[in-house]
Amino acid sequence: MTILLFYVDDMIITGNDENGIKHLKNLLNATFKMKDLGRLTYFLGWEVEYWQDGIMLSQRKYAEDLVTQACLSDQKVAHTPMEINVKYKNDDGDPLAEPTLYRRLIGCLIYLTMTRPGISYPVQVLSKFVANPCQCHFSALLRIIRYVRSTINRGLFFHSTSSLNLKGYADADWAGCPNSQKSNILL
Angle, CA 44 vertex, CA 50 and CA 99 arms, to 5°: 130
Angle, CA 64 vertex, CA 187 and CA 59 arms, to 5°: 50
Report the C-alpha gap between 132 and 129 in whole angstroms: 6
Q: 108: burial class by Cβ within 10 Å (0-12, 13-18, 19+)?
A: buried
Angle, CA 50 vertex, CA 48 and CA 51 arms, to 5°: 135
Would you tell me how many other CB atoms lie within 10 Å of the CB of residue 160?
Answer: 11
Across the beta sheet with 42-43, the strand order is 42-43, 46-51, 54-58, 155-159
- Confidence grade of residue 137 (pLDDT, cut at 50, 70, 90): very high
Q: What 8-state DSSP symbol labels residue 95?
A: B
Say whether pLDDT at 85 is over 60: yes
pLDDT at 70: 95
Task: Write out pLDDT tens, residues 20-73.
Answer: 989 988 888 888 888 888 888 998 899 999 999 999 999 999 999 999 999 988
